[in-house]
């Protein structure tokens, strides 16, 4: 992270209020095109001249990355207000961030970041009034803050905890074990774990792993995930294989047990939605039986008490319902919380009660139920926003929950389960005035007439003159709902009189499975149409203009941005496809990309190739078109969406660009898909992001400093 210069107060004001002068991008690297690489997709010949960039271990790729980053950094270094933005972001992020406590035995655990620590620290204390002590400090696990804590789980007797860590943002994690009372690290170390933590049983825990990759650990295809049981005090090589499926290499498997250690469950999936649940008693030598057959519907285990299993599912319920099944008589299912007009997003238990969160127009509503299904009450929340938590043990009398919104930093409440009284427990205190900003929700028509909701955040008193720098963000896939959340980085935009727009487009889960299916497989173009319509609405209603409109999205959202900038380059001034899935013909050939076939389809299937090829960002770039100023963002340790997507897309876009708007690749080192990124990298990345946007929207950056 760049040093914050200590200058006299008179020198702190940024003298960059004038319209940014045009900056010329340097010569792009001469990226080699191999014209001999051509694939036959069901009779259609598709060239792939940048295939060589898929080899993340080659010297040629390494040198190309260095050359691209050099061009990018030379361009960014010429932006006169980049340092001022970096300094302002450092101020905006520099406030204490503390999570809600979670009780484990006699201790309460919580995460805390003093302000600019690279990773949040886990503290623990005896009771709510005890003195807090450091339990795990991930900042001490690496010199550069790139080792992140991914999960933390406790044994039934609360004597031990298993914690998993990730290096440089990779999905690969390592599990270690610690004795809680002494903080003594045990010799147990579990490696080659991905998409799994530790689920405790008796004398050890269950976890899922892959075999050690034979090629690149960051790009090789992951197959045959298996569930093991690790007994404390033993070597990983002696772990017991609990479950495997030798006939289906492309499935995920995870194991868990009931709190009384009587039942063990295997949750299986072939992708990002659709599950199968297997079960048996833990002391049984018999094979697993199928409780819920896959993979048409989702089944999420919520709790298991007295042989009664609570499951959240969309079977016969597009908006989901909570059901109960007796594991001793599985022939009948009982609705505990039936489907309603609003999406049932989550369910938890605590104190012998059930708490459920519904979404109403992408805002959380929370209710409390008895196990019988009788509703106790609707819990009053502070306003339109996002709430979570409400999880605890069956003997707990109180639980904690969080509430946040675009203009409300995370706030935590202690909730009395019997009386329903909420008491403010901790309010995040930021060093800037959030009351200056307001949130508006609008509904706009998409291309086919579908009404789509969008949140708009801006400074109070905004006049609609069609000139506000605006960032439009969305995701649109995998049944994921985007709800109001607080971002100190976005404050930088709002301070400049800008607008942050969040569109809840199809493909997400905001309105249940129908909304999700409306944006997947052959309906994927609806997602792009919804996003394009959001941009058109913002311009029509004079919030902004094409010259001031930027679009951004990550992962599946990176696909969204890539497709839209290619389809409608005239509509946007700036585009940020971040860690995007941009080569839709080959995504399933790397790491766990195969798990997205249920969402996207596969080019290997002719009928699916026919619609995928029409929107695949890499394959719809037009030579000579004038594309928006684009910064393609990725990272060298991204083993979720391998950086080859961004490499190939960026190279092709540079080659095709028909005007002088810059096409840059910003490739982070020792970083991954985004999770666990250290604070210094977050600030530097965001400084590049906003500098590029302001520069290429002609935005007058004015420092808030006096």
Per-residue model confidence as pLDDT tens digits over 395-442: 999 999 999 999 999 999 999 999 999 999 999 999 999 999 999 999
Most distant CA atoms of the chain, gap in Å: 77
Q: Is 42 a catalytic residue?
A: no
Catalytic-labelled residue, pool 168, 673, 691, 703: 673
> Are 243 and 383 members of one domain?
no
**Any domain includes 74:** no
Could you tell me where the DSSP H helices lie in 391-471?
Answer: none
The strand pair at 353-360 and 172-179 is best described as unpaired
Indicate if the pLDDT at residue 17 is higher than 50: no
Inside any domain, residue 19: no
pLDDT attached to residue 18: 55
Domain check: are 409 and 546 in the same one? no
Quick one: how far is CA 379 from the chain centroid?
27
Pick the range with the lowest mean pLDDT from 250-254, 330-334, 337-341, 466-470: 330-334
One domain, residues 152 and 134? no
**Residue 363 shares a structural domain with residue 404:** yes
Question: Residue 83: enclosing H or E segment and its boundaries?
Answer: helix 82-93
Q: At what angle do helices 488-495 and 82-93 cross, to 10 degrees?
A: 130
Residue 17 lies inside a defined structural domain of this protein: no
Q: What is the mean pLDDT of residues 207-232?
A: 93
**What spatial distance separates the first Cα and last Cα of the chain, rounded to whole Å?**
24
| 47-96 pLDDT per residue, tens | 999 999 999 889 999 999 999 999 999 999 999 999 999 999 999 999 99
The band of 19, judged by pLDDT with boundaries at 50, 70 and 90, is low
566 with 615, same domain?
yes
Instruction: Show which of 386, 410, 429 is a domain's final residue.
Output: 429
Domain-located, residue 658: yes
- Decide if pLDDT at 1 tops 60: no
Distances (CA, A) of 226 to 91, 154, 250, 253: 46, 22, 11, 6
pLDDT > 80? residue 8: no
Take residue 99 and report the two structure tokens written for it.
Answer: 């999570």
* Statement: residue 706 has pLDDT above 80: no
Are 350 and 487 contained in the same domain? no
Rounded-to-integer distance, Cα 62 and Cα 72, Å: 16
Q: Is residue 464, in this structure, part of any structural domain at all?
A: yes
Catalytic residue among 155, 170, 387, 555: 555
What CATH number did the domain enclosing 641 receive?
3.40.50.1820
Residue 646 and residue 600 share a domain: yes
Higher model confidence: residue 94 or residue 169?
94
CA distance 697 to 546: 9
Q: For 481-498, what is the mean pLDDT?
A: 97
Place of tokens 């805390």: 112
224 & 172 share domain? yes
Q: Answer whether residue 381 shows pLDDT above 80.
A: yes
pLDDT value at 478 more than 70: yes
Q: Specify the pLDDT at position 13.
A: 32
User: Would residue 367 count as lying in a domain?
Assistant: yes
Strand partners, 205: 200, 230
pLDDT at 7 over 60: no
Question: What sign results for the dihedral spanned by CA atoms 607, 611, 613, 618?
Answer: negative
Distance between CA atoms of residues 255 and 241, nearest Å = 11
Write the CB contacts of 375 (distance below 8 Å, at least 6 apart in sequence). Answer: 367, 368, 369
Quickly tell me which residue has 């009779």 as its tokens. 43
> Residue 670 — pLDDT band, cuts 50, 70, 90?
confident
- Please give the residue range of the domain that contains residue 358: 340-429
10 pLDDT higher than 70 = no
| 477 and 507, same domain (yes or no) | yes
pLDDT of residue 210: 95
pLDDT score of 577 more than 80:
yes
What confidence score (pLDDT) does residue 677 get? 85
**Whether 423 contacts 413, CB under 8 Å:** yes
Of residues 216 and 35, the one with the higher pLDDT is: 35
Indicate if 470 and 604 belong to the same structural domain. yes
Instruction: Please state the separation of Cα 85 from the chain's center in Å.
Output: 25
500 and 588 housed in the same domain: yes
Residue among 128, 181, 134, 173 nearest 154 (CA):
181
For residue 605 the two structure tokens come to 């299937």
In the sheet where 263-269 sits, what is the strand order? 252-257, 263-269, 275-281, 289-292
Last residue of a domain, one of 222, 241, 257: 257
Count of domains observed in the chain: 4
pLDDT of residue 231 exceeding 50, the answer is: yes
Residue 673: active-site member: yes
Identify the burial level of 243 via C-beta atoms within 10 angstroms of its C-beta, where 0-12 means exposed, 13-18 middle and 19 or more buried.
buried
pTM: 0.93
DSSP strand pairing (470-473 vs 499-503) = parallel
Q: Of 257, 272, 298, which residue is a domain's last?
A: 257
Same domain, 448 and 397: no
Label residue 584 exposed, middle or buried (CB < 10 Å: 0-12, 13-18, 19+): buried
Is residue 153 assigned to a domain?
yes
pLDDT tens for each residue of 307-346: 999 999 999 999 999 999 999 999 889 999 999 999 999 9
Is 48 among the domain residues?
A: no
pLDDT at 680: 92
For residue 456, how many other CB atoms are within 10 A of its CB? 21
């Amino acid at each position: 992270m760049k040093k914050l210069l200590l200058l006299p107060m008179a020198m702190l004001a940024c003298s960059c209020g004038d319209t940014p002068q045009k900056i010329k991008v340097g010569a792009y690297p001469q990226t080699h095109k191999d014209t001999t690489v051509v694939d036959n997709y069901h009779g259609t010949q598709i060239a792939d001249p940048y295939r060589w960039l898929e080899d993340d271990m080659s010297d040629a790729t390494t040198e190309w990355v260095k050359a691209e980053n050099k061009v990018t950094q030379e361009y960014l270094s010429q932006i006169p207000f980049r340092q001022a933005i970096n300094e302002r972001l450092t101020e905006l992020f520099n406030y204490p961030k503390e999570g809600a406590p979670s009780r484990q035995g006699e201790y309460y655990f919580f995460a805390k970041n003093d302000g600019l620590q690279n990773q949040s620290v886990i503290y623990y204390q005896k009771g709510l009034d005890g003195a807090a002590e450091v339990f795990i400090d991930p900042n001490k696990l690496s010199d550069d803050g790139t080792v992140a804590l991914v999960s933390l789980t406790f044994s039934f007797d609360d004597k031990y905890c298993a914690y998993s860590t990730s290096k440089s943002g990779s999905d690969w994690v390592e599990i270690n074990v610690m004795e809680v009372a002494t903080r003594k690290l045990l010799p147990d170390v579990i490696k080659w774990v991905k998409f799994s933590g530790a689920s405790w049983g008796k004398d050890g825990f269950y976890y899922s792993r892959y075999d050690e990759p034979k090629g690149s650990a960051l790009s090789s295809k992951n197959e045959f995930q298996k569930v093991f049981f690790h007994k404390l005090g033993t070597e990983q090589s002696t772990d017991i294989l609990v479950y495997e499926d030798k006939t289906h290499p492309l499935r995920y498997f995870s194991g868990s047990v009931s709190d009384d250690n009587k039942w063990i469950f295997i949750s299986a999936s072939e992708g990002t939605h659709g599950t199968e649940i297997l079960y048996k008693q833990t002391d049984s030598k018999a094979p697993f039986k199928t409780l819920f057959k896959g993979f048409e519907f989702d089944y999420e285990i919520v709790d298991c008490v007295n042989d009664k299993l609570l499951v959240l599912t969309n079977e016969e319920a597009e908006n989901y319902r909570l059901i109960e099944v007796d594991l001793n008589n599985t022939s009948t299912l009982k609705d505990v919380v039936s489907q309603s007009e609003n999406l049932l997003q989550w369910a938890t238990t605590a104190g012998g009660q059930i708490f459920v969160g519904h979404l109403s127009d992408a805002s959380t509503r929370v209710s409390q139920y008895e196990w019988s299904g009788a509703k106790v009450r609707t819990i009053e929340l502070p306003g339109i926003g996002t709430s979570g938590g409400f999880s605890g043990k069956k003997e707990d009398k109180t639980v904690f929950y969080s509430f946040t919104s675009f203009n409300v930093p995370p706030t935590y409440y202690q909730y009395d389960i019997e009386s329903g009284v909420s008491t403010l427990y901790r309010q995040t205190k930021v060093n800037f005035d959030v009351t200056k900003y307001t949130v508006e929700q609008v509904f706009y028509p998409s291309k086919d007439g579908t009404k789509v909701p969008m949140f708009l955040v801006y400074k109070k008193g905004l006049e609609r003159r069609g000139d506000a720098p605006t960032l439009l963000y969305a995701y649109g896939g995998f049944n994921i709902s985007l709800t109001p959340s607080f971002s100190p980085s976005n404050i930088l935009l709002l301070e400049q009189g800008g607008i942050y727009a969040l569109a809840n487009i199809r493909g997400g889960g905001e309105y249940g499975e129908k909304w999700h299916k409306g944006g997947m497989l052959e309906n994927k173009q609806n997602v792009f149409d919804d996003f394009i319509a959001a941009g058109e609405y913002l311009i029509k209603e004079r919030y902004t203009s094409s010259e001031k409109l930027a679009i951004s999205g990550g992962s599946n959202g990176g696909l969204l941005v890539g497709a839209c900038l290619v389809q409608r380059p005239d509509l946007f001034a700036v585009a940020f496809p971040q860690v995007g899935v941009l080569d839709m013909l080959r995504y399933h050939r790397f790491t766990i990309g195969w798990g997205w076939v249920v969402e996207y389809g596969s080019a290997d299937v002719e009928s699916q190739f026919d619609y995928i090829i029409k929107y695949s960002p890499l394959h719809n770039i037009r030579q000579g078109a004038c594309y928006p100023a684009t910064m393609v963002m990725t990272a060298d340790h991204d083993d979720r969406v391998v950086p080859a997507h961004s490499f190939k897309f960026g190279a092709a876009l540079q080659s095709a660009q028909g005007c002088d708007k810059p096409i840059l690749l910003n490739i982070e080192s020792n970083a991954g898909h985004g999770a666990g990124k250290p604070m210094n990298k977050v600030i530097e990345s965001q400084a590049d992001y906003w500098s590029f946007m302001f520069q290429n929207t002609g935005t007058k950056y004015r420092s808030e400093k006096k």
